């Protein structure tokens, strides 16, 4: 084989392997030329396309991701590479779109979270204002009613009418507490107490509270308390009262005239660390339709054509859940409804052994502080009715009370005069209670700056007590206040201060 034939065979083999083509069939010099020119053109084309690919990939590194590589008619390995690269670009584009979608969703979630937090703050602010605006006049209604019942000679009809007023005020107070408690429980800002209390006595007090209303509807309302029930239990008596109050209130509301209501307290079991108590309220009321039963614990849900907030059962369910108890309901339309609540009450041998004496001590009125003069109290309160009420209450305890209408006047009075204790409202014009307390605690006079201060306020949101502690308030009492509780707290602080 001549050298010409060898060259031609080599070029033809390259063209066949690389380009799957053989252009000529002869063995002449022209055939060699034609095959070489074809090979040169193909190599030049590859060089141009390779340069384009390199430039495009460089652009990708610079950030221009989404330009596709050109596909030629050669269908060679470069085209296979370009097709693979373009497929990668498609997947990258889809991933980038998904990432953008995720980022958009995340941005919306962040916006929603901020909006929810803002709504929660607005709700808390609204509830605080509503609470203050309702509790302030309610403090006067309940306070003066209690004063009249305790200290005024009354005939039977007058006493009965005052009791109706007090009962209506107590019910209104429970409704306000329900609204506030729902908000606090949903945000997990509510704390439960673990103090000794007498469930037997508490149950009878609740029964007496509703006895008049039951008599008005000629309802046969009776209670049954297990003799094996421990005299004293440890827990939050206020929450237990809410459970009883709301269940019985519902029963009286939905039980027609001459119906029956039975409240039963049963000592169900005793475990290592808990006493298990079952509370049952059964009535012969209108009953609950089967399709409504799943919704009775939903906030604001209630039967049609019935007044009320629709919060009572929701509050009960949340209290029971927090206490790790259980609540069940059985009902039949036209027959009646039965609620069963099972609650664990923690026990502690030492704590339980001394709890009864502690309970008795709590129920007794504390001894007055020994002073050679009448106790002088400064009241900072902008509501004139509440000023008169507090002055009347303190005069009953043989105390002098000077009232001022804002925090600035309270600070001036502490500086200029001598007082034993300050009762401080929180929401006042000119200077609020927090600012006034801070100003008093900053005085140079040691005795005046350390004067006992009790916050007496209609604001009852969860953050209030923390804010009071932060500025130096010694104790916090919410309005409407109980006069005996106020006296006990005052005596405790004055004894510590003496």
CA pair distance 42, 19, nearest whole angstrom: 8
- Secondary structure class of 53 (helix, strand, coil): helix
CA pair distance 480, 488, nearest whole angstrom: 16
- pLDDT tens-digit readout, 444-496: 999 999 999 999 988 766 678 888 999 999 999 988 888 888 999 999 999 88
Its sign, for the CA torsion 116, 118, 121, 127, is: negative
Treating both helix axes as pointing N-terminal to C-terminal, what angle do 156-186 and 312-322 enclose, rounded to 10 degrees? 60
Res 44: pLDDT: 81
**Contact at 8 Å (CB) between 15 and 76?**
no
How far is the CA of 437 from the CAs of 37, 285, 380, 450, 495, in angstroms? 101, 52, 11, 10, 21
How far is the CA of 160 from the CAs of 151, 212, 213, in angstroms? 15, 9, 12
CA pair distance 268, 345, nearest whole angstrom: 12
Strand partners, 402: 378
Res 41: pLDDT: 78
The answer on pLDDT for 221 being more than 90 is yes
The whole-chain average pLDDT of the chain stands at 82
Confidence of residue 316 (pLDDT cuts 50, 70, 90): confident
**Contact at 8 Å (CB) between 448 and 414?**
yes
Confidence of residue 356 (pLDDT cuts 50, 70, 90): very low
The answer on pLDDT for 66 being more than 80 is no
User: Which residues, 6+ apart, have CB-to-CB distance to 110 below 8 Å?
Assistant: none
40 vs 288, higher pLDDT:
288
259 vs 74, higher pLDDT:
259
**Contact at 8 Å (CB) between 486 and 413?**
no
CA pair distance 388, 143, nearest whole angstrom: 10
CA nearest to 423, candidates 477, 375, 379: 379
- Secondary structure class of 364 (helix, strand, coil): coil
HSE (side-chain half, CA atoms, 13 Å) at 437: 26
**What mean pLDDT is predicted for residues 368-388?**
85
How far is the CA of 274 from the CAs of 225, 264, 268, 347, 412, in angstroms? 19, 20, 11, 5, 53
Its sign, for the CA torsion 480, 486, 490, 492, is: negative
Confidence of residue 431 (pLDDT cuts 50, 70, 90): very high
Res 112: pLDDT: 85
The answer on pLDDT for 309 being more than 50 is no
**Contact at 8 Å (CB) between 434 and 108?**
no
Res 103: pLDDT: 82
CA pair distance 156, 484, nearest whole angstrom: 25
**Contact at 8 Å (CB) between 351 and 284?**
no
- pLDDT tens-digit readout, 247-289: 998 899 899 999 999 999 999 998 888 999 999 999 999 998 8
CA pair distance 330, 333, nearest whole angstrom: 10
Question: Dihedral (C-alpha) 365, 368, 374, 379: value to the nearest 10 degrees?
Answer: -50
Could you give phi then psi for residue 136, rounded to 5 degrees? -60, -55
**What mean pLDDT is predicted for residues 99-124?**
80
Q: Where are the beta strands (DSSP E) in 182-226?
A: 195-197, 220-225
Output 90-94 pairs: Cβ under 8 A, ≥24 positions apart: 92/65, 92/66, 93/65, 93/66
CA pair distance 164, 178, nearest whole angstrom: 21
Confidence of residue 29 (pLDDT cuts 50, 70, 90): confident
Res 370: pLDDT: 59
User: Which helix (H) or strand (E) covers residue 264, if one does?
Assistant: strand 260-270
370-381 exposure pattern, b = at least 16 Cβ within 10 A, e = fewer: eeeeebbbbbbb
Question: What's the burial of 248, exposed, middle or buried (CB within 10 Å: 0-12/13-18/19+)?
Answer: buried
Question: What's the burial of 144, exposed, middle or buried (CB within 10 Å: 0-12/13-18/19+)?
Answer: middle
């Amino acid at each position: 084989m001549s050298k010409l034939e060898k060259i031609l065979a080599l070029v033809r083999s390259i063209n066949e392997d690389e380009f799957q083509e053989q252009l000529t069939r002869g063995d002449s010099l022209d055939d060699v030329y034609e095959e070489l020119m074809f090979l040169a053109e193909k190599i030049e084309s590859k060089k141009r396309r390779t340069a384009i690919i390199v430039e495009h990939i460089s652009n990708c590194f610079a950030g221009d991701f989404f330009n596709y590589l050109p596909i030629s008619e050669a269908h060679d390995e470069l085209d296979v590479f370009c097709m693979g690269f373009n497929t990668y670009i498609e997947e990258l584009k889809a991933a980038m779109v998904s990432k953008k979608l995720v980022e958009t969703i995340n941005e919306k979630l962040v916006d929603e979270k901020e909006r929810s937090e803002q709504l929660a703050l607005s709700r808390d602010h609204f509830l605080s204002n509503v609470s203050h605006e309702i509790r302030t006049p309610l403090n006067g209604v309940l306070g003066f009613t209690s004063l009249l019942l305790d200290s005024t000679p009354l005939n039977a009809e007058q006493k009965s009418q005052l009791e109706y007023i007090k009962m209506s005020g107590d019910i209104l107070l429970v409704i306000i507490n329900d609204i506030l408690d729902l908000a606090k429980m949903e945000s997990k800002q509510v704390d439960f107490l673990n103090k000794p209390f007498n469930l037997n006595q508490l149950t009878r007090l609740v029964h007496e509270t509703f006895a008049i209303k039951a008599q008005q509807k000629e309802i046969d309302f009776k209670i049954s308390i297990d003799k094996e029930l421990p005299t004293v239990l440890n827990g939050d008596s206020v929450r237990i009262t809410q459970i009883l109050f709301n269940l019985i209130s519902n029963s009286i509301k939905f039980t027609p005239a001459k119906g029956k209501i039975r409240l039963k307290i049963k000592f169900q079991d005793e475990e290592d660390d808990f006493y298990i108590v079952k509370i049952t309220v059964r009535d012969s009321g209108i009953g609950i339709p089967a399709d409504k039963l799943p919704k009775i614990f939903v906030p604001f849900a209630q039967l049609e054509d019935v007044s009320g907030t629709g919060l009572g059962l929701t509050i009960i369910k949340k209290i029971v859940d927090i206490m790790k108890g259980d609540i069940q309901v059985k009902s039949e339309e036209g027959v009646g409804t039965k609620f069963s609540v099972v609650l664990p009450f923690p026990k502690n041998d030492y704590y339980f052994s001394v709890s009864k004496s502690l309970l008795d001590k709590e129920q007794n009125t504390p001894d007055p502080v020994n002073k050679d003069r009448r106790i002088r109290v400064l009241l900072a309160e902008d509501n004139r009715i509440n000023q008169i009420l507090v002055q009347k209450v303190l005069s009953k305890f043989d105390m002098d009370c000077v009232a001022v209408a804002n925090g600035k006047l309270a600070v001036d009075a502490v500086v200029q005069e001598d007082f034993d204790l300050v009762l401080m409202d929180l929401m006042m014009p000119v200077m609020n209670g927090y600012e006034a307390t801070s100003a008093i605690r900053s005085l140079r006079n040691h005795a005046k700056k350390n004067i006992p201060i009790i916050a007496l306020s209609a604001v009852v949101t969860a953050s209030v007590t923390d804010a009071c502690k932060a500025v130096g308030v010694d104790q916090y009492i919410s309005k409407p206040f109980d006069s005996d509780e106020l006296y006990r707290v005052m005596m405790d602080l004055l004894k510590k201060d003496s």
